[in-house]
């Protein structure tokens, strides 16, 4: 009886440990680990003509400024536009002594600087798991689709906006309490996805093939038809012009 009771007691203690203590320890570890994280990442979507890059940051500590640098392969990419996310990063009316800087664009890099000082809530700062810092749109020099190795082709890397060796007193990421967070910043690689831009992919499945051809065939020489009915070039009729676009993109795929 006593032995059984001891076993039951041990079992209850182990269950309690597994159910309560271990998750609590794990949660504490997670919170402690994540509390100072500043992770900068980017997502690029591209087609044969362009690449659109969104740069994000995980900001566990509220910050009042951020400054990142995006370096790229100038033989492949040239910049159309670079914009900070102005819905988040702005200075309020009473902060006229702080210039609202535009992105600094050069032939192979862009520096995007953003700050937030809300006059109605000056210590709030910016925080969040995935805060958009800015968006860069590039045109591509070579029209290769799809790209098997976008990482090396585009050559995009992320780093602190101002090099702390050259600018030792410059703080790229500053907390609402004035703390220098630059040493906490880590950078992930850029993830890429293809924007499907095949004109003749009428049914939108990512490939130009027999299914698309059959749509054209069904509506051949009809007028007053839509794109979904095979009017690829949008002139209102399904005819040879549409077929020739299909022929050009035949068996091409976005995936």
Residue 63 to residue 172: CA distance in whole angstroms: 10
Nearer to Ca ion by Cβ, of 30 and 241: the residue is: 241
Residue 126 to residue 108: CA distance in whole angstroms: 29
Q: Contacts with Ca ion in 75-114 (CB under 5 A)?
A: none
Residue 21 to residue 192: CA distance in whole angstroms: 40
Residue 160 to residue 83: CA distance in whole angstroms: 17
Which residue from 233, 243, 245, 253 is in contact with Ca ion, where contact means CB under 5 A? 233
201 is a site residue for Ca ion (CB under 5 A): yes
- 173 and 185 Cβ atoms separated by less than 8 Å: yes
249 is a site residue for Ca ion (CB under 5 A): no
Residue 73 to residue 107: CA distance in whole angstroms: 9
180 is a site residue for Ca ion (CB under 5 A): no
- Per-residue binder mask for Ca ion (CB under 5 A), 6-45, x = binder: ----------------------------------------
Cis peptide before 229 (omega within 30 of 0): no
Q: Say which residue the tokens 């831009």 belong to.
A: 197
User: In angstroms, what is the minimal distance from the CB of 239 to Ca ion?
Assistant: 6
Which residue from 136, 242, 246, 249 is in contact with Ca ion, where contact means CB under 5 A? 242
203 is a site residue for Ca ion (CB under 5 A): yes
231 is a site residue for Ca ion (CB under 5 A): yes
Residue 230 to residue 220: CA distance in whole angstroms: 8
User: In angstroms, what is the minimal distance from the CB of 217 to Ca ion?
Assistant: 14
Q: Which two tokens stand for residue 126?
A: 């910016």
Residue 85 to residue 31: CA distance in whole angstroms: 28
User: In angstroms, what is the minimal distance from the CB of 200 to Ca ion?
Assistant: 8
Q: Say which residue the tokens 């992919």 belong to.
A: 201
- 136 and 79 Cβ atoms separated by less than 8 Å: yes
Which residue from 163, 235, 240, 248 is in contact with Ca ion, where contact means CB under 5 A? 235
Number of residues that bind Ca ion (CB under 5 A): 9
Residue 239 to residue 232: CA distance in whole angstroms: 9
Span near Ca ion by CB under 5 A; candidates 64-72, 99-107, 180-188, 226-234: 226-234
49 is a site residue for Ca ion (CB under 5 A): no
Span near Ca ion by CB under 5 A; candidates 47-55, 85-93, 123-131, 196-204: 196-204
User: In angstroms, what is the minimal distance from the CB of 210 to Ca ion?
Assistant: 9
212 is a site residue for Ca ion (CB under 5 A): yes
**Residue numbers at the binding site for Ca ion (CB under 5 A):** 201, 203, 205, 212, 231, 233, 235, 237, 242
């Amino acid at each position: 009886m006593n032995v059984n009771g001891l076993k039951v007691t041990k079992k209850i203690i182990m269950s309690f440990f597994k159910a309560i203590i271990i998750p609590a320890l794990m949660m504490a570890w997670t919170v402690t680990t994540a509390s100072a994280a500043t992770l900068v990442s980017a997502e690029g979507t591209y087609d044969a003509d362009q690449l659109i890059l969104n740069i994000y940051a995980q900001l566990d500590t509220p910050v009042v400024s951020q400054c990142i640098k995006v370096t790229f392969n100038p033989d492949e990419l040239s910049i159309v536009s670079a914009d900070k996310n102005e819905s988040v990063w702005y200075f309020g009316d009473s902060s006229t002594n702080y210039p609202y800087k535009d992105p600094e664009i050069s032939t192979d890099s862009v520096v995007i600087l953003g700050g937030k000082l809300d006059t109605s809530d000056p210590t709030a700062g910016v925080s969040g798991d995935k805060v958009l810092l800015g968006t860069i749109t590039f045109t591509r020099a070579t029209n290769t689709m799809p790209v098997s190795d976008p990482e090396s082709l585009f050559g995009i890397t992320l780093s602190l906006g101002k090099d702390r060796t050259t600018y030792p007193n410059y703080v790229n990421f500053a907390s609402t309490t004035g703390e220098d967070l630059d040493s906490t910043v880590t950078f992930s690689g850029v993830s890429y996805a293809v924007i499907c831009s095949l004109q003749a992919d009428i049914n939108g499945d990512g490939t130009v093939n027999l299914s698309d051809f059959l749509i054209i065939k069904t509506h051949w020489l009809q007028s007053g038809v839509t794109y979904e009915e095979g009017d690829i070039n949008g002139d209102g009729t399904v005819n040879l012009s549409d077929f020739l676009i299909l022929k050009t993109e035949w068996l091409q795929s976005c995936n």
